[in-house]
Structure 1
Amino acid sequence: MTGFPLQETGVETNLGPIGSALDEAGLGTTLAGTLEGVILFVLGFVAVYALGRAVVLPFLERTFDRRDLDEHAQKPLVLVARISVLFVAVAAAFGVADYGDFLVSMAGIAAAGAFAIGLAMQNVISNFVAGVFIYTDKPFRIGDWIEWDDGTYSGVVEDISLRVTRVRTFDNELLTVPNSALTSGVIKNPVEADNLRLKFVFGIGYGDDIEQATDIIVEEARNHPEILEDPAPSVRLTELGDSDVGLQSRIWIADPSRADFVRIRGEYVTAVKERFDEAGIDIPYPVRTLEGGLSLGSETSQSVVEPAE
């Protein structure tokens, strides 16, 4: 059997059953050998590829299902498996047809081409590698609300591929984000574990009762039907400002959307403000001080007003 048949120069050519049958049909040794190689290549490719599609791919899919692998993680893995089956089928077909020398030549050309393509597609490759890390590390899943780029962008993840992640913003805009942009910085997943913690600092005057203000903040959190009781609301004194004492409230909301988060926080802060007004607790305005001198004068005279000590 040979994939590169010899010319009919009196040298004995080894033909397989297919080539011998074609030779006996009157096609000649050279043409019979060529057709035999082509037929064996096609038969080898079809056999291996069909076997891979019928056995290997279903086996992998069943394995992924048994391991409860996320659907968004299965898609790229199945794609890689299909490409691998295709590659193995082509390599096996070259072997069956005895095209070994040709396969080696093609491998060298493919390696050179892959190197050139790699240089030209560095960004694509970096996004691909970043996508692999997203699948393995799982910093977020489809349906999660994420924030990145220091909170500049946020939205709900709709799709994750090996190159890009698609995020639907709360203004209903669809962002196609390169995966490298999500792995090169900090990603915030506010609703990981199905709960969102909200923090808000209420400023009260230095002459106000801290304990009374704390009780009001906690009571209004407990009165709101959509704020969780477990984890319980809490208040901490976090800062002593120039004009106020900062009391940080921490509350929890169950699996909210962005609209729920904004609405609930607004209702809660409004309720606390109304209770503060009823109790006579002041939320001071920020105090601004002027530093330096103020110059007043004309062409002939000038005076400087200095701030009082």
Structure 2
Amino acid sequence: MTLLQSLSQLGEEYVDLGWQLAEFAAVAAVVFLIGQLVVEPLARLVLDRWNLDRTLERALLKVIGVAVVVVALAAGVAAAGFTALLGGSALVVAALTLAVGFAAQDVLSNFVAGLFIVQDRNFNIDDWIEWDGRAGFIEDIGFRVTRVRTFDNETVTVPNTELATTAVTNRMSNEQLRISYSFGIGYADDIDETTRILLDVADDHEGILDDPEPSVRVTDLADSAVVLQSRFWIDSPDREEFSVARSTYIQRVKERCAAAGIDLSTTTQHDLSGELAVAEPPAVDR
């Protein structure tokens, strides 16, 4: 075989490969566009009619989007005739699979954690959560990360495994939320009168529920104050509702106590909501 014939044959092979690549790209693009312009809108329409939870609907739409990409690539490979090429090297495919498996361990673990998060009915988009000393509203739950918007309007990207393996407090998972606030009064002040003021302010507050009814308890005798803890409930809690109810309640208590001559200057406040668990301290060897 002459050099010219060899070059001619090589050129034909490259031309054939070029046509295969063009066919792959064309078929994959057509299938992808059909998926984006037809399949995904139809899926969104069907899911909207089913009135699914917003978090679950977003997750399903993301899965459909990934499926469209996979089907488009598979259709392109099949149309271009690359299936025989890929199947002819089992060793290469196995090596690539192993390498991708090691590289994608974190991605897969976050993906699985995301599935558990999505199926949790107490973990939804727009919920106000607190975890590991941080807090914010859930903006989106992705395959790898969950995006949380902080109260300073910053976006925090949290790996799904972190939320799946860390204790997370959801302030909005129930229809009602209890707010606890502690006031300190002087030892010379009247406890009964202060209790009456705390309850009256709660009764007059338009955002505080009558049922469950507010309560006040003496919780501590500090060095310079008698500590009274006021507990009351709000409905349909969110961050704004929580902040406004607590702020206006504290302000009105301060005003009425000042008018009654009750000293709140020694107050040490503890902002609590929900339940507080205190672990026993570890034993110390002496």
* 2:129 partner amino acid: I
Secondary structure, in 3 states, of the residue corresponding to 2:234? strand
Contact 1:204 1:246 in 2 (8 A): yes
Task: Pick from 91, 114, 129 the counterpart of residue 112 of structure 2.
Answer: 129
Deviation at 1:258, TM superposition (A): 3.5
User: 1:270 maps to what in 2?
Assistant: 251
* 1:267 partner amino acid: T
Larger RCO, structure (CA 8 Å, separation 6 or more): 2
**In structure 2, distance between residues paired with 1:76 and 1:111:** 30
* 1:216 partner amino acid: I
**In structure 1, distance between residues paired with 2:78 and 2:139:** 44
112 and 61 in structure 1: CA distance in 2 versus 1, 3 angstrom threshold: farther
264 and 59 in structure 1: CA distance in 2 versus 1, 3 angstrom threshold: closer
Measured on the aligned residues, the alpha-carbon RMSD in Å equals 4.2
What are the equivalent positions in structure 2 for 1:286-297 lying under 5 Å apart? none
Deviation at 1:191, TM superposition (A): 2.7
Deviation at 1:219, TM superposition (A): 0.4
User: 1:201 maps to what in 2?
Assistant: 182
Rg larger for: 1
Deviation at 1:181, TM superposition (A): 2.4
Contact 1:243 1:284 in 2 (8 A): no
Query: Which deviates more from structure 2 when the two are superposed, residues 44-53 or residues 195-204?
Result: 44-53
Deviation at 1:67, TM superposition (A): 4.4
**In structure 2, distance between residues paired with 1:123 and 1:231:** 45
User: 2:150 maps to what in 1?
Assistant: 169
Contact 1:244 1:284 in 2 (8 A): no
**In structure 2, distance between residues paired with 1:56 and 1:167:** 29
Identical pairs, percent: 45
83 and 261 in structure 1: CA distance in 2 versus 1, 3 angstrom threshold: closer
Deviation at 1:99, TM superposition (A): 8.0
What are the equivalent positions in structure 2 for 1:251-270 lying under 5 Å apart? 251-255=232-236, 258-270=239-251
Contact 1:94 1:103 in 2 (8 A): no
Contact 1:57 1:82 in 2 (8 A): yes
Deviation at 1:200, TM superposition (A): 0.3
Deviation at 1:45, TM superposition (A): 8.7
* 2:204 partner amino acid: N
Question: What whole-Å deviation, never above 9, does each CA across 1:29-66 have from its counterpart, x for those lacking one?
Answer: xxxxxxxx99xx99x99999999889986886566445
Q: Does 1:230 align with 2:211?
A: yes
**In structure 2, distance between residues paired with 1:110 and 1:285:** 72
**In structure 1, distance between residues paired with 2:71 and 2:84:** 17
User: 1:75 maps to what in 2?
Assistant: 58
**In structure 2, distance between residues paired with 1:100 and 1:172:** 49
What residue ranges of structure 1 are gaps of 5+ in the alignment? 1-36, 287-309
Secondary structure, in 3 states, of the residue corresponding to 2:124? coil
**In structure 1, distance between residues paired with 2:60 and 2:92:** 27
**In structure 1, distance between residues paired with 2:243 and 2:70:** 52
Secondary structure, in 3 states, of the residue corresponding to 2:174? helix
Secondary structure, in 3 states, of the residue corresponding to 2:258? helix
**In structure 1, distance between residues paired with 2:64 and 2:236:** 36
User: 2:196 maps to what in 1?
Assistant: 215
Deviation at 1:172, TM superposition (A): 1.9
Secondary structure, in 3 states, of the residue corresponding to 1:171? coil
169 and 99 in structure 1: CA distance in 2 versus 1, 3 angstrom threshold: closer
Deviation at 1:220, TM superposition (A): 0.6
User: 1:112 maps to what in 2?
Assistant: 95
197 and 105 in structure 1: CA distance in 2 versus 1, 3 angstrom threshold: farther
Question: What whole-Å deviation, never above 9, does each CA across 1:200-232 have from its counterpart, x for those lacking one?
Answer: 012234554433322211101122223233333
User: 2:124 maps to what in 1?
Assistant: 141
Task: Pick from 214, 218, 227 the counterpart of residue 246 of structure 1.
Answer: 227
Query: Which deviates more from structure 2 when the two are superposed, residues 259-268 or residues 174-183?
Result: 259-268
62 and 110 in structure 1: CA distance in 2 versus 1, 3 angstrom threshold: farther
Contact 1:146 1:155 in 2 (8 A): yes
* 1:128 partner amino acid: F
Deviation at 1:135, TM superposition (A): 0.5
111 and 58 in structure 1: CA distance in 2 versus 1, 3 angstrom threshold: farther
**In structure 2, distance between residues paired with 1:48 and 1:177:** 33
Question: What whole-Å deviation, never above 9, does each CA across 1:120-174 have from its counterpart, x for those lacking one?
Answer: 233332222221111111432222221111xx32122222212222222222222
Deviation at 1:96, TM superposition (A): 9.5
